[in-house]
Structures are given as C-alpha cells and as structure tokens.
C-alpha cells in the first residue's frame, strides 16, 4: 500500500512538473500571442464565408408554400 502511495505521489509530481515546464515554455515563446492571432484570422475568414453562404443558400433551397 505504501509503494502505491509513493508511486502516486511520484506520478502526480512528475505531471505537475511537466505542466509547469510547459506553461513556462508557452509564456517564454509568446505562444499566447501566436494562438490569439490564429484565432483572430480564423474568425476573420469565417465571417465572410458565412455571409457568402447565407446569400447563396436561398438560390439552392426551394420555398414551400
């Protein structure tokens, strides 16, 4: 039982250390800025495509009276 508890503490410690290293690397390499710009440009491309789709869609769908 004590061995499993030590193993669990070791695994949690390793996971926590990995998380801290990953977050530190994320901040150091300005990944937040890069991911923010990727989201911005994705939304910037979705809006015109949805406007184009909403304007072309009525030509392909028939109205039922």
How many whole angstroms separate alpha carbon 40 and alpha carbon 42?
5
Q: Which residue has the tokens 């491309």?
A: 45
pLDDT digits (tens, 9 = 90+) for 26-44: 778 888 788 899 999 999 9
- pLDDT for the residue 58: 85
pLDDT in tens, 1-15: 677 888 888 999 999
The answer to whether residue 65 is domain-embedded is no
Instruction: Tell me, yes or no, whether 38 lies in a domain.
Output: yes
- The owner of tokens 């923010």 is 36
pTM above 0.85, yes or no: no
| Overall domain count for the chain | 1
19 lies in which domain range? 2-60
Tell me, yes or no, whether 17 lies in a domain.
Answer: yes
Backbone angles phi, psi at 15, to 5 degrees: -65, -40
């Amino acid at each position: 039982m004590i061995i499993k508890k030590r193993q669990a503490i070791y695994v949690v410690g390793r996971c926590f250390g990995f998380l801290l290293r990953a977050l530190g690397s994320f901040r150091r390499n300005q990944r937040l800025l890069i991911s923010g710009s990727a989201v911005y440009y994705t939304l910037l491309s979705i809006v015109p495509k949805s406007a184009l789709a909403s304007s072309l869609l009525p030509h392909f769908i028939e109205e039922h009276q």
